[in-house]
Amino acid sequence: MTTVAPLAYSPYDYAIHEDPYPTYARLRAEAPVFYNEELDFFAYARHADVLAAFRDVDHYSNAYGVSLDPAAFGPEAHRSMSFLAMDPPRHTRMRSIVGKSFTPRRVAAMEEGIRELAVALLDPALETGRFDFIGDFAGRLPMDVISELVGVPPADRAEIRRLADLLVHREEGMHDIPPEGLDAALTLAGYYAEMVADRRRHERDDLTWSLLQAEIDGDRLSDDEVIGFLFLLVVAGNETTTKLLGNAWYWGWRHPDQRAKPLGDPSWVPNWVEETLRYDTSTQMLVRVTRRPVRVQGVDIAPGRRVLLLVGSANRDEAVFPDSESYDLERNTQDLVSFGSGRHFCMGAALARLEARVALTELARRVRDYDVDEGGVARVHSINVRGFAALPTAVTVR
């Protein structure tokens, strides 16, 4: 007789980092609103409930941030998470001013520059025939893109990426940001403070300078607000796009019939990106705090309680995505919630998608096929993001 283990879920659990999806399936079926008594949070596992909470700013607050970590959760979360840790009207003001500099037109104009950065990293990696997809490419390209955008010089980018990695890493059994991560946060904050101070003195053609000039009816961002947004970009923008690229590469490798489509015809690359966003999204969960009493799936939740929106589970909900456990580039992915929804829909979604499309298209044009050395694969251990620290790859070039 097979004994079924008690249902348990914690985003700190290393087993969840390795494969959360069997647990998500049980949560959706057995406890769509799950309560973790030890860490004192509720978790929504079904697509309908996650989507509704994303859109309901009256009942769910972002003001304490989106992370469960005690060091990152609280009324000062906006210092490192910018408008991701704000409610209207403060959120509306901040996003409106930032939006004047971070426009869709500005993002679209970056395509050729992104392609040049991608090719500069790809060509030497592909020449050897063997490389680490993360260390040599996917981990570097998003940092280069963000750095070009905000004005971080090339000589500083490797160190900025190392600090960003320390911020998201979690030690097994530890339920908070480790000391190394806190030190990295302080170092990054100091670096961006110096960069902002420099832009106050010297005009540059970059986003940092533009943010300092942007205004609505005479209202401008303070230095601290600009630093917070730069912090958000390097952590959220860089880390999640690196994970998106790695996840696409890995699941393409695990499904030869699916990877054959974009490698045979690069017009399939957008489907590759979108199905990866659904099947194994970079951002697995985000925290909200209830502002008013809510009743979800028959469970009453009082004001002031933490709720985890399990994005990774919502994207596998069979009620929305039939045969949800299959990786299928022909799938309709329009209902994925990888970038949230409503007022807090990710401002960087267009840039992340553009980076991923350009990077994977350049790979598809150069690579006939590839293999991953599973023995060398290493995962990132983080409570919010899911992806790889290493993906040793062998390629057959065209």
Share of the chain above pLDDT 90, in %: 71
Query: Two tokens at 238?
Result: 């860089």
Integer Cα distance of 287 and 310 in angstroms: 9
Tell me the average pLDDT across 234-241.
80
Among 209-218, 245-254, 315-324, 377-386, where is mean pLDDT lowest?
Answer: 209-218
Q: What is the pLDDT of residue 247?
A: 98
Residue 1 has pLDDT above 70, yes or no: no
Secondary structure class of 379 (helix, strand, coil): strand
Domain boundaries along the sequence of the chain = 14-397
Q: Which of 78-82, 147-151, 177-181 has the highest mean pLDDT?
A: 147-151
* pTM across the whole model: 0.93
Tell me the average pLDDT across 272-297.
98
How far from each other are the two terminal CA atoms of the chain, in whole angstroms? 53
> Would you place residue 277 in the very low, low, confident or very high pLDDT band (cuts 50, 70, 90)?
very high
Q: How does the average pLDDT of the chain come out, rounded? A: 93
Residue 299 region by backbone torsions, left for phi larger than 0, else alpha for psi between -120 and 50, else beta: beta
Q: What is the pLDDT of residue 2?
A: 59
pLDDT in tens, 77-122: 888 788 889 999 989 998 888 888 778 888 889 999 999 999 999 9
Residue 341 has pLDDT above 90, yes or no: yes
pLDDT in tens, 48-71: 999 999 999 999 999 999 999 888
Residue 129 region by backbone torsions, left for phi larger than 0, else alpha for psi between -120 and 50, else beta: left
Q: What is the pLDDT of residue 51?
A: 98
For 245, half-sphere exposure in the C-beta direction (CA atoms, 13 angstrom radius) is: 33
Structurally, at CATH architecture level, domain 14-397 sits in Orthogonal Bundle (1.10)
**Cis peptide leading into residue 89 (ω within 30°):** yes
> Would you place residue 174 in the very low, low, confident or very high pLDDT band (cuts 50, 70, 90)?
low
Among 81-85, 318-322, 340-344, where is mean pLDDT lowest?
Answer: 81-85
Residue 173 has pLDDT above 80, yes or no: no
Q: What is the pLDDT of residue 172?
A: 73
The one-letter code for the residue type at 342 is G
The one-letter code for the residue type at 94 is M
Pair 282, 256: CB distance under 8 Å: no
> Would you place residue 305 in the very low, low, confident or very high pLDDT band (cuts 50, 70, 90)?
very high
Q: What is the pLDDT of residue 15?
A: 94
Provide DSSP, 113-128.
HHHHHHHHHHHHHHHH
Integer Cα distance of 360 and 371 in angstroms: 15
